[in-house]
A = this chain, B = another copy of it.
């Protein structure tokens, strides 16, 4: 069934098609979410037969799981507590608009609204990536609350800018975002109440 893999690697033709399918899926899932995209849509976008999508990825769920991989690349080492707000918002902009990073996060956010499986994945990203980073500064007992507030601002910004595409939020420059949202994240992450 699979090629007899003695020597580790070999780029077969199927690897390329598999990659094409995955890329098509990522693009479509990012625009329509899990429910809004059919396997036939993905197949058409990849110029291939729908049956191949199932052959390479065994089900729509598995294809989605492969497409919705997220790594926020947050610095887990001790960050300068005085700069954490700035660090977070800059990292956010790179993750959502940078060229390298895939659209994993927008796929997840789009789908999470009406798909419990995707919602669970978002909660995983929060628990395993955002929360530890916020916990690395300040009181660990308080980390959940602070990370939750951070997430509320960042996911809201993402929702308005990339999901709903609210005109005034889309129009914000990176500098404006950093200048306005950075301090809010700083306050949330450090746990200092309003002053």
Contact = CB atoms under 8 A, between A and B. Distances in A.
Interface of A: 32-36, 109-115, 119, 122-123, 126, 144-145, 147-149, 151-161, 163-169, 171-172, 176, 179-184, 187-188, 193-194
Given A113-B113, A147-B168, A180 B160 contact: no
Given A35-B35, A152-B161, A182-B194, 7 more contacts: A35-B114, A123-B164, A148-B160, A152-B156, A152-B169, A153-B153, A156-B159
Contacts of A144: 167-168, 171
A188 to B, nearest CB: 7
A66 B166 CA distance: 23
A72 to B, nearest CB: 15
Given A152-B153, A154-B156, A156-B155, A163 B112 contact: yes
Most interface-central of A109, A112, A151, A161 (chain B CB within 10 A): A151
A180 B193 contact: yes
A165 to B, nearest CB: 8
Nearest to A182: B194
A47 to B, nearest CB: 24
Contacts of A111: 113-114
Nearest to A112: B164
B114 A166 contact: no
Contact of A109 (B35, B113, B149, B194): B113
A155 B158 CA distance: 10
Contact of A169 (B32, B151, B176): B151
A176 B166 CA distance: 28
Contact of A114 (B32, B159, B161, B171): B32
